[in-house]
C-alpha cells in the first residue's frame, strides 16, 4: 500500500482545523445526524464489510458480525440516545467561600483527532473509536492498518462516500506514513496497537504536547482454581482464545491451572476445540487465519519449547495455525516473553494461588485478567493484582458492556473508551465559575483587612 506524502497529511490536517473552526461540529443535532449517517452507511455496506474481513482474515460472516459490526452498531445507538445528556453542562457544588458564585462543567470537543487502528479487528477498532470522536464533536483523520488491505480500501470508500472530507478523512500507508503523522500536531492521538509502537507514539506526541490515548496489550493471564466449574471454564477459555484465531488483545495469553485439576481441564479444553471447530479444523470456514506469513512463522517459532498437548499443525502457505495447547511450560520460555497473538495457549500450574498472583505481579500489568473459581476468592485475586479489565468465570465479555470503561493500565495502555468514556476521551471538561456583579465581597482583596475571617471560612 502506497505511503501518503507529508504535503497531503499537512493539507488534510489544515482542512480539518478550518472545518472545526466553523463551529458546526459543536451542534448536538449535527453530531446525531453524523452518527445516523455512519450507521446507515455500515448497514448498507454490511455484505462488503463481511467480504473484506473474509479476504483479509478468513473471518466468517457470523464472527464478523458478532465481534466487529454489531459492536459498532450498538455503540452508535447508545451514543445517539445519550449524547444530549452527556454534552449538557453539569452544575457542581460551590464551596461556601466562593458564594454567591456558581460552578459548572461544560464539555467541549478537543478539536482534530488522529485515530490509528490495528489489523486484528480492522473495522471494529477504527469505527468504534470514530463513534466517540463524532459524539464529542471532533474532526477526525483516520488511519487503518495496511496489513488488512481489503478492509482498509473498503473503509476509505465508506468514509469518502458518506462524509465531508474536511470533517472526516482517511489516509493509507505503512511505517513511513505513521512516522509523518506522529510528527504533526493534533488535539488528540488515539492509537490501538502494541506497547512497542505505543512508546513511539507517546514519545513523538510529547514533542507537540499532544495528549494520547493508548490501547495496547500484553500477556493477559487466565487462572483456573481447584474449585472451578471445569466444563464451563474449558468452554469459555477456548472460545475466548480462538476468536479471531487468538489475534485478540484481550485473549487469554497464558493459563495458570491448579495442579489438581490441570489434566482434566486440558482434556476438556481439547474436547471443546473439536466441538466448536470439528476434527478438520483447516477446512472449517468458521476458523480464521493468521494475518500474514510472517506472523505464522513467528508463531511457529513459539512451538519449539514445551510439550504439545493438543494441536501444533502449521501451514504457512494457508496462513493456518491450529488451536494449540502447550504444557510443561516454564517462565523462561520464549512464548512467555511476548504477547502471543495467535491460537496457542501455554500452560503453567500452581499448588497455592499465591504462586499465580506473584507471577502476575512481577510482570507488566496486563490488559485483562481472567479467574475461574469461587467468586469470593476472586475478590482476593482482584485485590492483590492489577489489570485494565477482568472477568470472573468468563473471558472477553467485559469488552461488550458499553457501561464499562475499556482500557489498559501501565504497559497495557493509557486512557479509556467505550460508551460514555468514548465521549469523554475526545472532550475537554472545562471548569467554569460564574460570579455575579450585584455584590462584591471584599475578603479576597488586598490589603486583606479581614484576613482572620478568611482563615475561618477557607
290-305 pLDDT per residue, tens: 999 999 999 999 999 9
Band of pLDDT at residue 447, cut at 50, 70 and 90: confident
331-390 pLDDT per residue, tens: 999 999 999 999 999 999 999 999 999 999 999 999 999 999 998 999 999 999 999 999
Q: Please give the share of the chain, as a percent, with pLDDT higher than 90.
A: 94
Angle ∠(106,36,141) on CA atoms, nearest 5? 70
307-318 pLDDT per residue, tens: 999 999 999 999
97-118 pLDDT per residue, tens: 889 999 999 999 999 999 999 9
pLDDT value of residue 455: 80
pLDDT value of residue 325: 98
386-432 pLDDT per residue, tens: 999 999 999 999 999 999 999 999 999 999 999 999 999 999 999 99
Can you give the pTM of this predicted structure? 0.95
Band of pLDDT at residue 448, cut at 50, 70 and 90: confident
Residue 142 contacts residue 115 (beta carbons within 8 Å): yes
Note the helical H segments in 45-174: 46-57, 61-64, 70-87, 124-136, 149-162
Q: Which of 86, 24, 96, 108 is nearest to 431 (CA)?
A: 108
3-state secondary structure 23-39: CHHHCHHHHHHHHHHHH
Band of pLDDT at residue 229, cut at 50, 70 and 90: very high
Band of pLDDT at residue 445, cut at 50, 70 and 90: confident
User: Which residues have CB under 8 Å from 13's CB, separation 6+?
Assistant: 112, 141, 184, 185, 186
Residue 452 has pLDDT above 90, yes or no: no
> Could you count the other beta carbons within 10 Å of the beta carbon of residue 8?
15
pLDDT value of residue 86: 98
Band of pLDDT at residue 76, cut at 50, 70 and 90: very high
Least confident interval from 108-112, 178-182, 438-442: 438-442
Residue 453 has pLDDT above 80, yes or no: no
Q: Which residues pair with 325 in a beta bridge?
A: 310, 345
pLDDT value of residue 249: 96
Cα end-to-end distance, the chain, whole Å: 62
Q: State the sign of the Cα–Cα–Cα–Cα dihedral 140, 146, 151, 152.
A: positive
pLDDT value of residue 450: 74
pLDDT, averaged across the chain? 96
Residue 36 has pLDDT above 90, yes or no: yes
Q: Please give the share of the chain, as a percent, with pLDDT higher than 70.
A: 100
When pLDDT is averaged across residues 73-96 and rounded to a whole number, the result is: 97
When pLDDT is averaged across residues 56-66 and rounded to a whole number, the result is: 97
Active site residues: 215, 249
Residue identified by cell 507529508 is 6
pLDDT value of residue 178: 95
Amino acid at each position: 500500500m502506497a505511503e501518503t506524502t507529508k504535503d497531503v497529511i499537512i493539507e488534510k490536517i489544515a482542512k480539518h482545523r478550518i472545518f472545526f473552526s466553523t463551529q458546526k461540529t459543536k451542534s448536538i443535532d449535527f453530531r446525531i445526524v453524523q452518527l445516523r449517517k455512519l450507521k446507515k452507511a455500515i448497514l448498507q455496506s454490511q455484505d462488503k464489510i463481511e467480504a473484506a474481513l473474509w479476504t483479509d482474515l478468513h473471518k466468517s460472516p457470523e464472527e464478523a458480525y458478532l465481534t466487529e459490526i454489531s459492536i459498532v452498531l450498538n455503540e452508535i445507538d447508545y451514543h445517539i440516545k445519550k449524547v444530549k445528556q452527556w454534552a449538557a453542562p453539569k452544575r457542581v457544588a460551590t464551596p461556601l467561600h466562593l458564594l454567591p458564585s456558581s460552578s459548572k462543567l461544560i464539555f467541549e470537543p478537543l478539536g482534530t483527532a488522529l485515530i490509528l487502528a490495528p489489523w486484528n479487528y480492522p473495522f471494529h477498532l477504527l469505527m468504534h473509536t470514530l463513534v466517540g470522536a463524532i459524539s464529542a464533536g471532533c474532526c477526525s483523520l483516520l488511519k487503518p492498518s495496511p496489513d488488512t488491505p481489503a478492509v482498509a480500501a473498503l473503509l476509505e470508500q465508506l468514509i469518502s462516500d458518506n462524509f465531508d472530507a474536511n470533517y472526516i478523512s482517511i489516509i493509507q500507508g505503512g511505517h513511513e506514513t505513521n512516522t509523518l503523522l506522529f510528527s504533526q500536531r493534533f488535539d488528540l492521538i488515539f492509537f490501538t496497537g502494541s506497547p512497542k509502537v505505543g512508546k513511539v507514539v507517546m514519545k513523538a506526541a510529547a514533542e507537540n504536547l499532544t495528549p494520547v490515548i493508548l490501547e495496547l496489550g500484553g500477556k493477559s493471564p487466565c487462572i483456573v482454581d481447584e474449585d472451578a466449574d471445569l466444563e464451563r471454564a474449558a468452554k469459555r477459555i477456548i472460545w475466548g482464545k480462538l476468536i479471531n484465531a487468538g489475534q485478540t488483545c484481550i485473549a487469554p495469553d497464558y493459563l495458570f491451572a491448579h495442579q489438581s485439576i490441570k489434566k482434566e481441564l486440558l482434556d476438556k479444553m481439547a474436547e471443546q476445540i473439536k466441538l466448536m471447530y470439528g476434527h478438520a479444523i483447516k477446512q472449517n470456514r468458521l476458523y480464521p487465519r493468521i494475518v500474514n506469513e510472517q506472523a505464522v512463522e513467528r508463531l511457529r517459532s513459539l512451538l519449539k519449547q514445551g510439550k504439545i498437548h493438543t494441536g501444533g499443525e502449521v501451514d504457512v502457505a494457508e496462513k493456518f495455525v491450529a488451536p494449540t495447547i502447550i504444557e510443561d511450560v516454564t517462565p523462561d520460555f520464549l512464548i512467555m516473553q511476548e504477547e502471543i497473538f495467535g491460537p496457542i495457549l501455554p500452560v503453567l500450574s500452581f499448588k497455592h494461588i499465591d504462586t499465580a498472583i506473584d507471577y502476575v505481579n512481577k510482570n507488566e500489568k496486563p490488559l485483562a485478567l481472567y479467574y475461574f473459581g469461587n467468586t469470593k476468592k476472586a475478590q482476593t485475586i482482584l485485590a492483590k493484582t492489577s489489570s485494565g479489565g477482568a472477568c470472573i468465570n468468563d473471558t472477553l465479555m467485559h469488552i461488550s458492556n458499553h457501561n464499562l470503561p475499556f482500557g489498559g493500565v501501565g504497559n497495557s495502555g493509557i486512557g479509556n473508551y467505550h460508551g460514555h468514556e468514548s465521549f469523554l476521551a475526545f472532550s475537554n471538561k472545562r471548569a467554569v465559575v460564574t460570579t455575579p456583579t450585584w455584590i462584591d465581597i471584599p475578603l479576597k482583596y488586598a490589603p486583606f483587612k479581614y484576613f482572620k475571617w478568611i482563615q475561618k471560612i477557607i
